[in-house]
Structure 1
């Protein structure tokens, strides 16, 4: 059995990363993971710029001059612009080259491997997969990755991979996506042998997953090293074309089923087995798999990573190794785009409800007989009136008073 790969955040502000990788409190793997040595490997955290949550912060971190709105002049005289995320194949040759160069520089600096390790650790207890946190967590994750790239080259943005354009081909493996000018081609064993990332050696990780821990502890499943090799892809093996189609997107954008929105049905399906790709190993009902954002994304992970005749998985097919392949971020750019389309078409707050302002002292009694304006401090602030506690003595006196009356 293999671990489950189903891969199936302040103002002017920075969103801090919280505890360090592997530190208690973030669902990191136990100390036994050091048998593989993910934490011992040479990877470097990105600078604090990735924590930025607005354009002004980004401008200041890049030592630019912020002049309001999205107006920022960098020290070299160029203007910093809002990132425009284009479809990967629509980039000009120069834009694509600059994008590839920035990724390679991020890899050489070891910051890319930090993103890999971060996803590996946060994935360990399935906290960022198989449920409603999937979309927002990965939104912040790829935002940080994009900013790390823009720190290298402020002119670029993270493109997305619209898989529907490959899905309509008789055989998506024939797409220019898998050529030396784009994401590269592979040899007969599935290892990348051309393209901008052909020389990469991926981060070494373990096959550990929360559902395999007991089996590993009982030595039913050995701890296995993954990664530490060239990027590997088994495109479309063995399940063929499972790329996202227009129908999948339409279903998601029009979906109002609460179980599917929150990924509950998908969790029931995928979490019921310790098998890594249970539908590749005999799960036939793909109805639910085509209905949730996370599940259609997982099918693309399967397509790119795949499984060879020896049941060896490509990098994209397991959450532990997926980030080692830069295709990961192109796919998640598209998933985030679909998520944003869903969010924009479900703005029910405009019609169903709105919030009144918080109680304030410029309104008499803060707007309620149960509130008061506290003037005792430097800054006025509305407070709630206290309850009257009747002690036994007070009750007795109250009773006596009634008798006297």
Structure 2
């Protein structure tokens, strides 16, 4: 596993630089705020990002090879092409070697949980794009492991992708929380290793991919249930009975002290900097609809849906509708051989 060495949070004053998102045109906040950013991690627009990785020409950002810089497109990790996956892995490796990160435990047990992590993974993605502008932070849809007899048998945990488990945890793979934050924690505890400890869980790239998935779920909910105005203003009422003051709307988003917690619900993230590709589906029951050789269409459990393929030697019991859940070979007597 790689380790991050220095969090990208410069010492600046705590006045909010937020209200940019209230303007209607894309990247309307460029002249007022982004021109004074001291590093790429503070940026809220692509034109700001361009100051650090490209050249602005005719209101467009031109990358070193002459392309127009586009918002990052966050895909499910297994839906990356081989080239995209290799470039993501290479950027991770280079980020480790440059020492750009210092670990940070994160905001938990309160309403700042989602907006804080949105800002945190935005900075991580910009660190990757500074190394390779074609790279986006993929998300890990952990529900794709949901119908496997043992999630650790997923081909996700093979050398070609995220690597094998060194040892198994005995943590439950089921969770009964209705709170997104506590459901999130169960996934990291199940993974084990450094993700088991909140203070160092960001050592593992799966931490960021997992939080990108939570961010996608949150954004999907926001788009479905909130108006544009609500998405930028509807922050839970401050209440010491529900959370510490550090989670209050106007409290500094530590260690990003130039932001307040409420700034994390701005539309500028998904309006200016990144988009999400939809989750894998197979409504017609065909494997190819899942868009990845690492996924198959599970037709044995409820409606057809995409699922992670099982590694060689893994448990493939439960798929009885002419599926082949194995990444290689066939399922014979409940084992991928």
TM-score (norm 2): 0.56
Cα distance per residue 1:269-307 (max 9 Å; x no partner): xxxxxxxxxxxxxxxxx64x2x111111111011101xx
- Compute the displacement of 1:96 (Å): 0.4
**2:49 matched to which residue of 1?**
58
Contact in 1 for aligned 2:91/2:131 (Cα 8 Å): yes
**1:152 matched to which residue of 2?**
131
- Compute the displacement of 1:171 (Å): 1.4
Larger RCO of the pair (alpha carbons < 8 Å, separation 6+): 2
1:302 aligns with 2:189: yes
Q: 1:171 to 1:81 in 2, by over 3 A?
A: same
- Gapped regions of structure 1 (runs ≥ 5): 1-8, 18-46, 191-233, 243-285, 306-313, 355-405
Q: CA RMSD in A?
A: 2.4
Contact in 1 for aligned 2:121/2:212 (Cα 8 Å): yes
C-alpha distance in structure 2 between counterparts of 1:183 and 1:59, whole Å: 31
**2:293 matched to which residue of 1?**
none
Contact in 1 for aligned 2:46/2:69 (Cα 8 Å): no
C-alpha distance in structure 1 between counterparts of 2:70 and 2:122, whole Å: 15
Contact in 1 for aligned 2:35/2:48 (Cα 8 Å): no
The structure 1 residue matched to 2:78, chosen from 82, 85, 89, is 89
Contact in 1 for aligned 2:54/2:61 (Cα 8 Å): no
C-alpha distance in structure 2 between counterparts of 1:350 and 1:165, whole Å: 33
The structure 2 residue matched to 1:335, chosen from 193, 214, 226, is 214
**1:140 matched to which residue of 2?**
119
Q: 1:15 to 1:178 in 2, by over 3 A?
A: farther
C-alpha distance in structure 1 between counterparts of 2:123 and 2:112, whole Å: 17
* Number of aligned positions between the proteins: 203
**2:323 matched to which residue of 1?**
none
Alignment map for 1:209-228 (pairs within 5 Å): none
Q: 1:175 to 1:148 in 2, by over 3 A?
A: same
**1:161 matched to which residue of 2?**
140
Q: Secondary structure at the match of 2:83?
A: helix
C-alpha distance in structure 2 between counterparts of 1:172 and 1:143, whole Å: 28
C-alpha distance in structure 2 between counterparts of 1:157 and 1:318, whole Å: 26
Q: 1:153 to 1:303 in 2, by over 3 A?
A: same
TM-score (norm 1): 0.47
Q: 1:151 to 1:342 in 2, by over 3 A?
A: same
- Compute the displacement of 1:176 (Å): 1.3
Q: 1:48 to 1:179 in 2, by over 3 A?
A: same
1:346 aligns with 2:337: no
1:241 aligns with 2:176: no
**1:182 matched to which residue of 2?**
161
